Amino acid sequence: MQQLDWKNLPFGYIKTKYNVRCTYKDGKWGELEVSDSEYIPMHIAATALHYGQEAFEGMKAYRGKDNKIRLFRWEENAKRLQHSAEGIHMAKVPIDLFLQAVVKAVKLNQEFVPPYGTGASLYIRPLLFGSGAEVGVRPAKEYTFLVFVTPVGPYFKEGFNPVKIAIIRDSDRAAPLGTGTFKVGGNYAASLRGTIKSQQAGYGAPMYLDCCEKKYIDEIGAANFFAIKDNTYITPKSSSILASITNMSLITLAEDLGYKVERRPVSVDELESFEEVGACGTAAVISPIGEVIDIESGKVYKFCKDCKAGPVSKKLYDTLVGIQYGDIEDKHGWVTIIDKD
């Protein structure tokens, strides 16, 4: 086991021992290769560099009380990478190759999977990009798929304490018929203006609205949005947001726990009526939102009762994290245990 300050890990990059890579060439995927280098040789005309032909995934490995290492709903990440690849005309990574690469990267770096009880996990970053050279705007003929891992702590410094969010109205992350449902790097580049603006205003992350009317809530930085009202879990339906696997799981868990679920356009005006609001995602897990400011009008919505997460968010968080770390029965078959050897 590595000796790291597990309880105080940031959400950042820490070098591990190995990553795995695979190349698509002449219409087929090659063998998985293990590398101990943090660098990739790139053609200067690779389509990823010039035309943003790149997509990634974000998932985690969790060490349980029994010391076993678990993946959570990895097939959903594999399918979403295929959806992103289709969206920007890249070669798709076969589901079994995806699993092999993820398992190999985790096993080779087992000593970096944080101990149970530290609140930390091993973040897994599968990456697919056009590595073939083109100068005209067209899809590459060659692709690289790689998986690296790095141990991480909470995405927001607040952890499970409420974060403050700023509504952004002067930049958009993704257009309704654009690339918002694909997990492609360009969306994150487009989100930086809003991210920096929210941080400069003293807030943790931006809230993006629909870009046509600026009336409905889209998502929160790199996470989906949810709200609780009258025993109902409410989350936006929008054609410009990423289909969050965490959100999908919370919808199921909310139903299991007896709440109603509504997936529909959610107007910003409704914020006033919500009992609890939060951001959810692999990195964010569930981050309760304590305050939302509309930067332009200065209007503030406060949700922070005693500055703690609300009871429904807490119940959902405990259930989700309990399943991920193996403390709660995995009734839906979401968890895959990685064998030691």
Place of tokens 């992103």: 84
- Could you tell me the smallest distance in angstroms from the CB atom of residue 122 to ligand COI? 12
Site for ligand PLP in 185-244 (CB under 6 A): 219, 222-224, 242, 244
282 binds ligand PLP (CB under 6 A): yes
Give 242 or 268: the residue with its C-beta nearer to ligand COI.
242
Q: Which residues touch 94 (CB under 8 Å, ≥6 apart)?
A: 29
Site for ligand COI in 67-126 (CB under 6 A): none
Total of chain residues touching ligand COI, rule CB under 6 A:
5
> Which listed residue (23, 82, 181, 246) binds ligand PLP by CB under 6 A?
246
Give 70 or 268: the residue with its C-beta nearer to ligand COI.
70
Report whether 194 contacts 208 (CB < 8 A).
yes
Burial 69-86 (b: 16+ CB within 10 A, else e): bbbbbbebbbebbbebbe
Measured CA to CA, the distance from residue 289 to residue 292 in angstroms comes to 7
> Which listed residue (77, 82, 282, 324) binds ligand COI by CB under 6 A?
282
Tokens of 76: 């959903």
User: DSSP characters for 205-265?
Assistant: EEEEE-TTTS-BEEEETTBEEEEEETTEEEEE--TTS---HHHHHHHHHHHHTT-EEEEE-
245: partner contacted, choices ligand COI, ligand PLP, none (Cβ within 5-8 A by kind): ligand PLP
Total of chain residues touching ligand PLP, rule CB under 6 A:
12
54: partner contacted, choices ligand COI, ligand PLP, none (Cβ within 5-8 A by kind): none
91 binds ligand PLP (CB under 6 A): no
- Bridge partner residues of 232 (DSSP): 229, 260
281 binds ligand PLP (CB under 6 A): yes
Place of tokens 């409410």: 234
Tokens of 216: 């409905």
Number of residues written out for the chain = 341
Site map 203..222 versus ligand COI, x via CB under 6 A:
-------------------x
- Could you tell me the smallest distance in angstroms from the CB atom of residue 15 to ligand PLP? 23
Q: Provide the residue type at 193 as one letter.
A: R
State whether residue 76 is helix, strand or coil.
helix
Q: Which are the catalytic amino acids?
A: 183
Per CB under 6 A, residues contacting ligand PLP are 58, 219, 222-224, 242, 244-247, 281-282
Per CB under 6 A, residues contacting ligand COI are 58, 222, 281-283
